[in-house]
Structure 1
Amino acid sequence: MSENRPPSVSRVVVGVSGSLGGATALGRAAYEARSRGAELWPVLAWEPPEGDVVSRRFPASAHMAEEWERLARERLIEALREVFGGTDTGLPGQALAVRGAPGPALVRTAGRAGDLLVIGAGRRGRLRRALWPSVSRHCLAHATCPVLAVPPSPLQADLASVHRRNIWRLRLNTRDLERELRSVPPEV
């Protein structure tokens, strides 16, 4: 009789951004790491505001890099707290703040044989796709390991809708929202 076991994975590397989609991906990565007996490596990629090329050409901004890295580490710690209630994930591994564009930084970090890369695959409209590069698309195209693209939480669209209604000062129908919340199954 053959067992249906997941393939052996040494690390589960997950992109963390501090967003709701990133939190969903981090939760799924923890589940995958537990079920596979793997290490969990949450990674938050960061770049200087003016970009890496400009920052490296002008040494005057080099002293600011330490501050930007500190802020990235704080954002990573906050993301871990939101998902796990603290910085301890309950799994072996290491949380990293990596300098570089998110897609390439995640692909570089998840470059070992046996890695699994977990990324959030948020919904993106045409305008967003045209103006901002897609981290998930880059990872799917360039990663040398398996990539798990986690769709956004079903509540993310509802939250965005509520946020838009608040911005436009439109009345919120809470009965519809309560009904939808009761219909969402608990996450694993």
Structure 2
Amino acid sequence: MNRPGNRVVAGVSGSLGSLTALHRAASEARATGAALWAVLAWEPPGGDIPHRGGVCPAPRTAWRSMAVDRLADALDTAFGSAGPGVPVEPLVVYGKPGTVLLEVADRPEDLLVVGAGARGPLRRALWPSVSRYCLARACCPVLAVPPSPLHRALDAVHRRNTWKLPLTTEGLAGRR
């Protein structure tokens, strides 16, 4: 069953894409008898720049606590009280997401699962892709999970709400 060193490491941010990847990671862990490591990387708001002169421990503790809560919420959202059906090791680590994931998934027998995300040219220019970073540098296999088809539908609804466009219900109810 669960052999030492047999791990599936999933990057978790709480986004829909990371929840989809977390589900896939749990499926891979069940199929291989591996333990699931759910990893959330965190940094202070605004990055490290405000804290280079010295980190004040009180805000840092609060931010870490918020990261722990965010990982717990993501696991609860993804699996509910039933859990994923495999042993889970939740891990909250200070650092940049790509770097942290590669530090955790550091064995050739690991499997790293990340959300591929919906990427356009503007997003790619403004926000670096964690999945691309991991794919280029990992020492273990990496599974980049595409977004759920529901993700596109939710994005469309969000855009309509943002632009205050009317929402139509066509296609939501089955035809009779």
Give the TM-score normalised by structure 2: 0.90
| Structure 1 vs Structure 2 CA RMSD | 2.0
Runs of at least 4 residues of structure 1 off by over 3 A?
86-89
Kindly indicate whether the alpha-carbon contact (under 8 Å) linking 1:21 and 1:122 is maintained by their aligned counterparts in 2: yes
Count the aligned residue pairs. Answer: 172
**CA deviation after TM superposition for structure 1 residue 126, in Å:** 0.9
Partner amino acid for 2:14?
G
| Matching residue of 1:32 | 28
| Matching residue of 1:106 | 101
Partner amino acid for 2:23?
G
Distance 1:102 1:172 in 2: 36
Partner amino acid for 1:129?
R
5+ residue gaps, structure 1: 1-7, 183-188
Distance 2:172 2:13 in 1: 27
**CA deviation after TM superposition for structure 1 residue 54, in Å:** 4.3
Decide which of 26, 42, 48 is 2:44's aligned counterpart.
48
**CA deviation after TM superposition for structure 1 residue 60, in Å:** 4.7
SS in 1 for 2:113: strand
Q: Deviations over 1:4-48 (max 9, x none)?
A: xxxx97000000011111110000000000000100000010001
Partner amino acid for 2:126?
L
| Matching residue of 1:127 | 122
Decide which of 136, 148, 153 is 1:153's aligned counterpart.
148
**CA deviation after TM superposition for structure 1 residue 86, in Å:** 3.2
**CA deviation after TM superposition for structure 1 residue 68, in Å:** 0.6
Kindly indicate whether the alpha-carbon contact (under 8 Å) linking 1:22 and 1:119 is maintained by their aligned counterparts in 2: yes
Query: Residues 48 and 87 of structure 1: is their aligned pair in 2 closer, same or farther, counting only changes over 3 Å?
Result: farther
| Matching residue of 2:62 | 67
Q: Deviations over 1:46-98 (max 9, x none)?
A: 0011323542x232533311111100000000000001103843312311011
5+ residue gaps, structure 2: none
Partner amino acid for 1:32?
E
Distance 1:168 1:53 in 2: 34
